[in-house]
Chain A
Amino acid sequence: MKVGPYLGYLAVGAVLGAVFVQSEVASWYRIQEMFRFGSFHLFGIIGSAIVVSAASLALLRWWGRPIPQVTQPDPVRPRYALGGTVFGLGWGILGACPGPIYALLGMGITSMVVALLSALTGAWAYGLLQDRLPH
């Protein structure tokens, strides 16, 4: 196993974790503020992240870099709407999406161990129920 790329993933993750803290997107307060349309902050973050990502991927493509893409047809299925809404309910209640769960743990908010374990239980429950859920 080559170590280099893994140091890269670790470093990129660390930058992201620090941004989650300093921009306060990992905070329950800011998520509430977003869903109450109290501030432009989080909309600005998500929106500009999408624009910068799209622009830089276009640049990579222009330079001829191979981009991992979905090659097969990409139909919209019920799972995206259904799972998305379940996720949104959780996001609104917990005030953290998966990345911030790891950041909050790193910040020393140790009760987030329970959140991580419960989120893992949720992922496991999805695996168990997969065949019975509409997709």
Chain B
Amino acid sequence: MFDSPPGTLPWYVAGPVIGLVVPTLVLIGRKRFGISSSFRHICAAGLPDSSRLKPAYLRYDWRGEGLWNLTFVLGILLGAVAAVALWGMPEPGRTLSEGTSATLARLGLTDFSGFVPSQLISWEALGTPVGWFFLVGGSFLVGFGARYADGCTSGHAITGLSTFRAPSLVAVLGFFAGGLLATHVVLPLVLPLLLR
């Protein structure tokens, strides 16, 4: 019941390491763990100040506020490069719980290889509405929602809940409400149509 899937870094190692990121960032530079603010910093850095399409939300000193955060997310990317180089590409689809893989198969997923299902997330998928739904639509909601809620899983679920912030509890309840809605209502309607 409390086992992690075979071949994965177990939860009782992965979770505590993630949890230790919070005090480590405090010790290094009194920074607050949060990842989705990097989206704001990248937009602020990328849009010229002269542009009429640059809203007030993106006009601030992104270097002063965000350079540490951009360095941090670059680290995430490089850490993933190293993990794959050292230990290879995991294939979670092979060790899914029976119930989950049976349901996904019923919804039309046939290929369980790779780190993510290539039927949904790949350049090939982007040639069809499937890729647009998952890679473009899903990601837009992630970026929009994270900034609207002023934080994502790192800022609200980990940092916010571990510092007992009520707004974070509300946001995390929203995360799970939205995720359950997507999983149990949206995907069963959309996947069979898209993968037909």
Seen from chain A, the residues whose Cβ lies within 8 Å of a Cβ on chain B are 5-6, 8-36, 38-54, 56-57, 59-60, 65-70, 74-77, 79-99, 101-112, 114-128, 130, 133
Contact = CB atoms under 8 A, between A and B. Distances in A.
Q: How would you classify the secondary structure of chain A's contact residues: helix, strand, loop or mixed?
A: helix
Contacts of A112: 121, 135
Interface in B172-194: 172-184, 186-187
A18 B178 CA distance: 27
A111 B171 contact: no
Given A8-B28, A12-B72, A87-B152, A44 B15 contact: yes
B97 interface: yes
A12 B22 CA distance: 10
Contact of A110 (B38, B104, B123): B123
Contacts of A15: 17, 21, 79
Interface residues of B, number: 134
Nearest to A87: B145
Interface of B: 1-5, 8-33, 35-36, 38-40, 42-43, 46-47, 53, 55-58, 67-69, 71-84, 87, 89-90, 92-93, 96-97, 99-100, 103-104, 112, 115-117, 120-123, 125-126, 131, 133-150, 152-154, 156-159, 161-168, 170-184, 186-187
- Per CB-CB distance, the 3 closest pairs between chain A and chain B, nearest first, are A13-B75, A88-B178, A84-B174
B187 A53 contact: no
A128 B78 CA distance: 32
Contacts of B117: 28-29
A113 B98 CA distance: 31
A87 B163 CA distance: 21
B29 A8 contact: yes
Given A84-B170, A92-B182, A127-B147, A10 B71 contact: yes
B1 to A, nearest CB: 6
Given A29-B92, A60-B27, A111-B126, A19 B141 contact: no
A39 B8 CA distance: 12
Q: Which of B57, B76, B131 has the most CB of A within 10 A?
A: B76
Given A84-B171, A88-B182, A90-B178, A36 B99 contact: yes
Nearest to B100: A38
A117 B161 CA distance: 29
B26 A57 contact: yes
A90 to B, nearest CB: 3
A94 to B, nearest CB: 3
A92 B187 contact: yes
B25 A128 contact: no
